[in-house]
Amino acid sequence: MLYKLGRWIVYIAMKLLFDISVEGLDKIPSDGPLVVCANHISWWDPLLLACIMPRPVHFMAKKELFSNGIMAFVLTKLHAFPVNREKADVGAIRKGLAVLNDGNVIGVFPEGTRQKTPDKLGPGHGGAALLAIKTGACVLPVAIRGRYGFRGTVKVACGNPMSIAQGTGRLSTDIQAGSLQVMGAIKDLWETLNPNEAA
């Protein structure tokens, strides 16, 4: 209930604040486990993805946000769960696997943190590929480009769902290759978004 209400409020606020355009909504799977992978340019990104996805999205959020009891309660109701970004957080991975094994959607920013340089993407980490490989979930690449300032233009492109290639016999090798595959798909979409129009 809180998720639906919050999503509705955020959707209205973002429509008033920003000029947002989205491509490829028809490519979003309507059911089954799904890992939504997007580049990360602002703290608005999770809210934007939650608004355009037809199903609730479970996000990993840095554990520091859960230090406040009230904030932790709200984030939990909004399907967020904590992750320790300073190390390989086994608990967060287990939670992500459980979300996907239940047939739900999880949102991941493979870069791991917001990129302060708008004209380039950061390197991808292996968490999203690991989740996809372990559960067989599809990955939906999403590119976000633009400026979230008042009435700034933000462009979003959703790509084709894809499976993470595997089969080398070594999980670490498959994860590394999968991470490159995910970031490559995001980059291809990102480059289609005109930086001059999106600036």
DSSP output for 91-103: HHHHHHHHHHHTT
How large is the average pLDDT for residues 118-128? 88
Neighbours of 169 (CB within 10 A): 7
Between the alpha carbon of residue 83 and those of residues 11, 63, 65, the distances in Å are 26, 5, 10
Domain assignments of the chain as residue spans, ordered by start: 2-198
Report pLDDT digits (tens) over 18-58.
Answer: 999 999 999 999 999 999 999 999 989 999 999 999 999 99
87-90: Cβ within 8 A, 24+ apart:
none
pTM of this structure: 0.90
Q: What average pLDDT does range 175-187 have in this prediction? A: 95
CA atoms within 13 A on the CB side of 164: 33
Across the beta sheet with 80-83, the strand order is 19-23, 153-158, 138-146, 34-38, 105-108, 57-62, 80-83
User: Is 70 exceeded by the pLDDT of residue 196?
Assistant: no
Better-predicted residue by pLDDT, 76 or 26? 26
Average of per-residue pLDDT values in the chain: 90
Q: What is the pLDDT of residue 199?
A: 41
Query: Does 196 or 154 have the greater pLDDT score?
Result: 154
Extract the runs of DSSP E, i.e. beta strands, from 17-121: 19-23, 34-38, 57-62, 80-83, 105-108
What dotted CATH number matches 2-198? 3.40.1130.10
pLDDT over 50 at 198, yes or no: no
